[in-house]
Chain A
Amino acid sequence: MDDDLPTDFQVIVVGTGMVESIVAAAASRIGKNVLHLDSSDHYGGLWASYNFDGLQKFISEVQSNPKRQWQVYNLKEKWYIEKETPQTDVEKGEENKTETDDKANPPKIWSQAAFTFEYRKFNIDLTPKLLFSRGPLVELLISSNIARYAEFRCVTRVLTWLEDHLVPVPCSRADVFATEAVSVVEKRMLMKMLTNIVGYNEDEMNNEFKDWHDKTFKEYLTHKGLTPNLIHYVLFAIAGGTNKMPCLEGVKECKKFLMSLGRYGNTPFLWPMYGSGELPQCFCRLCAVFGGVYCLNRPIDKVEAKTLDEGRNVIAIASKSKTLNCDHLVIGINECPKELLSPEPIESSDISKAVFITNGSILKSEKEPLTLLRFPPLADDDNAVTVLEVGPATGSCPKGLFVVYMISNKEKDAESDLMPYAEKIFEMSDNGGQDAEKPKCLWSLFYNVHDTSAPTSSILDNVHVCSGPDAQLDFDRAVEQAEQIFKKICPGEEFLPRAPDPEEIVFDEDVTHGPDFCGEAEDDAPQE
């Protein structure tokens, strides 16, 4: 089948990570002839979601392939449950259970075999990220009409760690006024300060912040007379910072948070159903709809600049037995031959990550929660830790379980960096240990990811290198970089204009060249 692969394209994209996929969609959308390849048999690269079986394959691949250890290392998987469920438990057909059974039955005793049995119900992300409701990715998904390929859920609560406990952070104006944790005087101070932050504008620095360039955000909050608890909420939970966070950075983070409130739910965040790994695929789908050619399982061997007989300068890619030519090559940094990269950028901090599967939420609630917890550093020199907890309603795991992600900048190694935080919120001992308050950790995975998020350039013109995932909470940098690369390839063209709805597609009598679109007409009018 591979032999059918055409060999001449305007744009070839190698790797199906977030940045690569957005560029592929944008180029195809405005009519470029695009080929999109990935060396593996699935989409997403380091941005992928895996079911439990796929994740096991990923783990053994990383452990056996030194090439992958350049990207992912210090990988440690651990089980906290038995291989098989004890015989005394009568196994029930999980699939056919009705929902009403749930409450009557005692909690299920999970075994490794039960995970294997239900492997398809897991969707575990290598790069879990949230979307700010008014952030650039949400705006792009709406304006391009790519939102129709995905479903989202609202993050239901933001938590913080305060005085050795998990506490909810009041997010919305209503929350702030309703909460009893904050006095009336504090509320007025807080609202005044938040109003100042919303008024912050980078370009025309207003008086409020002009003297705060070289000071910390904490100093600013203290200066504003906020009480220690309020400082904690704003600095750690809303800005996601540490004591050292520069003031203007904190202001920017807070503003982003505040501006995204009130659009979809009670918090400023959305989470993609079935995981973040769905999102690159949505862009790939759009690329394909507009004629992009897709080929997974297609490694590339060599990349070089070449001049063809007719004098056209191309990038030539050797792949299997073929040479593929293109005007522009867009390539993920992990797929790019090292000799093509410009000298490595300055050393940056790698990322420490962990995934836990637990038998309950870190903080019980009436309805299934979807939680963002921003852990303040437990020790002075630590980094802040981002924790995301997703449940069965997001399509991440079977009923009765939760998947919890931890992300931080690397200090020592993933396990040493994150274990102290895990122990605060989970029961981490093997088998025994009955802490009624905390959910039990059933399975854990720690790993470090080489930080490839800094923009990197290539020594060849017309080869555009896409960064890997960063440690940030959102996708903003990926969207920004994709747009920059697109503008280089297609100067003056619109970035992902709205794709038509099916009702707007008008077919010609003879359709060999594909349909025309009537874009603007009757935009939102009902069709029938």
Chain B
Amino acid sequence: MEDYKFLFKVVLVGNAGVGKTCLVRRFTQGLFPPGQGATIGVDFMIKTVEVDGEKVKLQIWDTAGQERFRSITQSYYRSAHALILVYDISCQPTFDCLPDWLREIEEYANNKVLRILVGNKTDREDREIPRHIGDDFAQRHGMYFLETSAKEAENVERLFMEIAVELMEQAKCKELPKYDGSLGPINGKTTSVSDSSCCLRS
């Protein structure tokens, strides 16, 4: 079994083309993919980080392109610990869609999920959404706020590290169930069932 103490599921949502995949790739692999195409074959990516000397594994899920026609499966939101809602600071329509996304999040995600609003593409010179507008929106909806550039690697590390730190803190004070390393009972092996949900054990 791998050596980590916590596993957190982080999911990204937001309009197509705002740079969700780029944020994930920048953080997990340290690169900025030049391709323009929609996301194919990428399911979720994993990176283990260290917080206060403890290993934390982040499982970061991408939308698999289902956001393109507003058709994300409810199951995508299930059991997420943190949810990153992304817009493009140089594209007003991606900001205008945020209330729609929030409605979907309200409906399907756990109401205790950690929510972060991210304005991506600060490297662009044709900014349409001033920083304070994004900040206001985040405050009104009880979300953390950060502006990033996946291209210039600005604030990307910070975004995920802050999520890890915050989730760690929550986990410690609320005694959130720890991850035991098996993804659900269905892994071909015989399992005994614990009291808590099958992949999370207290």
Contact = CB atoms under 8 A, between A and B. Distances in A.
Given A289-B41, A289-B43, A505-B41, A264 B74 contact: no
Given A142-B187, A148-B184, A367-B195, A1 B40 contact: no
Contact of B41 (A278, A294, A515): A515
Nearest to A51: B107
Contact of A264 (B34, B40, B73, B191): B191
B64 A512 contact: no
B73 A285 contact: yes
Contacts of B68: 1, 4, 293-294
Contact of A95 (B42, B74, B111, B197): B111
B187 A511 contact: no
A273 interface: yes
B74 A147 contact: no
Given A150-B184, A264-B191, A511-B34, A282 B41 contact: no
A525 to B, nearest CB: 11
B2 A152 contact: no
Contacts of B92: none
Interface in B44-75: 44-46, 48, 64-66, 68-71, 73-75
Contacts of A264: 185-186, 190-191, 193
Nearest to B62: A289
Contact of B42 (A281, A289, A395, A503): A289
Interface residues of B, number: 48
Contacts of B183: 147-148
B177 to A, nearest CB: 12
A503 B47 CA distance: 10
A270 B40 contact: no
B44 A510 contact: no
Contact of A147 (B3, B25, B186, B190): B186
Contacts, number: 146
Contacts of A445: none
A278 B186 contact: no
Interface residues on A, range: 35 or more
A514 B37 contact: yes
B185 A512 contact: no
A288 interface: yes
B79 interface: yes
B37 A294 contact: no
Interface in B172-202: 183-188, 190-193, 195, 197-199
Contacts of A499: 43
Interface in A277-294: 278, 281-282, 284-285, 288-291, 293-294
Contact of B188 (A142, A289, A527): A142
Contacts of A142: 186-188
Contact of A5 (B37, B46, B69, B187): B69
A270 B69 contact: no
A296 interface: yes
Contacts of B35: 510-513
B37 A152 contact: no
Interface in A506-528: 507, 510-515, 517, 526-528
B71 to A, nearest CB: 4
Nearest to A279: B75
Nearest to B190: A263
Contacts of A270: 185-186
A318 interface: no
A288 to B, nearest CB: 4
Given A289-B43, A514-B41, A527-B2, A296 B79 contact: no
Interface string A251-284: 0000000000011110000100110001001101
A26 interface: no
Nearest to B45: A502
B184 A265 contact: no
A141 interface: yes
B37 A512 contact: yes
B76 interface: yes
B43 A153 contact: no
Contact of B43 (A95, A147, A151, A502): A502
Contacts of B45: 502
A296 B70 contact: yes
Contacts of A138: 186
Nearest to A367: B195
B185 A281 contact: no
A355 interface: no
B99 interface: no
A2 interface: yes
A213 interface: no
B57 to A, nearest CB: 10
A5 B64 CA distance: 16
A260 B78 CA distance: 28
Nearest to B43: A289
Contacts of A132: none
B75 A281 contact: yes
Interface of A: 1-2, 4-5, 42-43, 51, 95, 120, 138, 141-142, 147-154, 156, 262-265, 270, 273-274, 278, 281-282, 284-285, 288-291, 293-298, 367, 393, 395, 499, 502-503, 505, 507, 510-515, 517, 526-528
20 contacts: A43-B73, A147-B184, A152-B186, A264-B185, A264-B193, A278-B74, A278-B75, A278-B78, A285-B66, A285-B73, A290-B41, A291-B40, A293-B68, A367-B195, A395-B78, A502-B44, A511-B35, A512-B37, A515-B40, A517-B41
Interface of B: 1-3, 25, 29, 33-37, 40-46, 48, 64-66, 68-71, 73-76, 78-79, 106-107, 111, 183-188, 190-193, 195, 197-199
Q: Which 8 residue pairs of A and B lie closest in terms of their CB atoms, listed nearest first?
A: A514-B40, A288-B64, A512-B35, A294-B71, A281-B73, A147-B186, A295-B69, A281-B75
Given A291-B40, A528-B2, 5 more contacts: A43-B73, A147-B186, A148-B183, A270-B185, A514-B40
